[in-house]
Amino acid sequence: MKQENNRRTEHIWYPYTQMGDDFAPKLVEEAKGVNLKLDGQWVIDGISSWWSVLHGYNHHSLNDALKFQIDKFSHVMIGGLIHEPAIELAKSLSTICGRSLNRVFFSDSGSVGIEVAIKLSIQYWMNKKQATKSKLICFKKSYHGDTTGAMSISDPEDSMHHIFSPILMKHHFFDAPSSDPDIKRDQLKKIDVFLSKKHDEIAAIVLEPLVQCAGGFNFFTPDYLDELRNLADKHDVLLIYDEVATGFCRTGTFFAYHQSKTEPDILVCGKGLTGGYLGLAATITSDKVFRAFYAKGEPEKAFMHGPTFMGNPLACSLAIKSIDLATKNNYSQKFLEIQKILEEGLLGFTHPLIKRIRVKGGIGVIEVYNKSDIDGFGEYAFNKGAWLRGFESFIYTMPPALIKESELRKIIGIMKDYFLDKN
């Protein structure tokens, strides 16, 4: 096995991993439904391959969509050319968003989609002759991706990106959103006071709606979004929502912001967009934003950004089918049913090592006091029949929509048994 492990690590540089430490990646041999065959052992995938596998693995409808498109053509540039899958997908996303969000810019990953949103928000004000508006209001416990611009709007201190802080553009950070009425009122008041003095240098407010995921699984209520919308309008700044992780029904509505009464100026989605098959992201804007770039005879106002594989036909075809599956099978309701099972299984469970447990939609999180207390959790879960991972001081599940109740209850049991077996 040592020789085989050496082969797996000889040339590949793995993410978020100290390669000098003992490290034994598992080989995926097959994948079907919500199960992975790892080194000969079938296990339940409880985290959807970084939250992207919406419908499970090897789904026949997605496979068929990919095969159909690949026999026509696999890729063309979107620059003087366009294709039906991109046209249809853009229309579908605009319809789901409704109201004013109806302009879609494609890219190839969530991080790049965020970069697009940042650049759009800053150039929007440049085009309107207000170039001083070039900073963003961001939040602690946020995570928006690993590219440079995305890192600059993620938590600057308590995150994996803090070592890059000397090279990052400086933005303005406020405390992570709270659902506590008194704390929330104070937080929003501070933002209001700040904007009343500094609105002429702020391009946008950027936030993961309802759930700050990789930055610490912080959950908060929809009315926070409405209050931010009011502040953005009051002080004439744009509002950006990062729904790369929260989109596609994960929180119980198609997009998390649909639980609020308002909408952003710019929305970014990715991950589950293609059902976890291929990289694709969409940055969706309102006509208000688009019109600032629409100026005949003024090429300097055009948006100068264009990923090579933006709107890839294969990815767009998958995304059309993925959205169709999520809509026809009422995934919003499915994730609310998952939420109910997670609440029944996790809430109320106590252990001296556990600080807090929380559930939202298809997301269940156990937070511990000391991150060293979950060292070895991944291997423990694997030996019990599930693919789960801990990071920082959290163990969590975010399974595909089609997980069976018995499979979900097994995952919940493994998460709880880990602590019980430590006694």
Per-residue burial over 231-254, b = 16 or more CB atoms within 10 Å of its CB, e = otherwise: bbeebebbbbbbbbbbbbbbbbbb
Crossing angle (nearest 10°) for helices 181-198 and 223-235: 20
Query: CB neighbours (10 Å) of residue 189?
Result: 11
Alpha helices, DSSP H, located in 131-270: 148-152, 181-198, 223-235
414 contact partners, CB below 8 Å, separation of at least 6: 380, 381, 384, 385, 386, 388
Angstrom distance (rounded) from CA 30 to CA 213: 28
Which residues carry out catalysis? 16, 143, 242, 271
Which tokens in the block code for residue 24? Answer: 């034994």
Alpha-carbon Rg for the chain, nearest whole angstrom, is: 22
Which tokens in the block code for residue 317? Answer: 């075809």
Nearest 5°: phi and psi at 379?
-70, -40
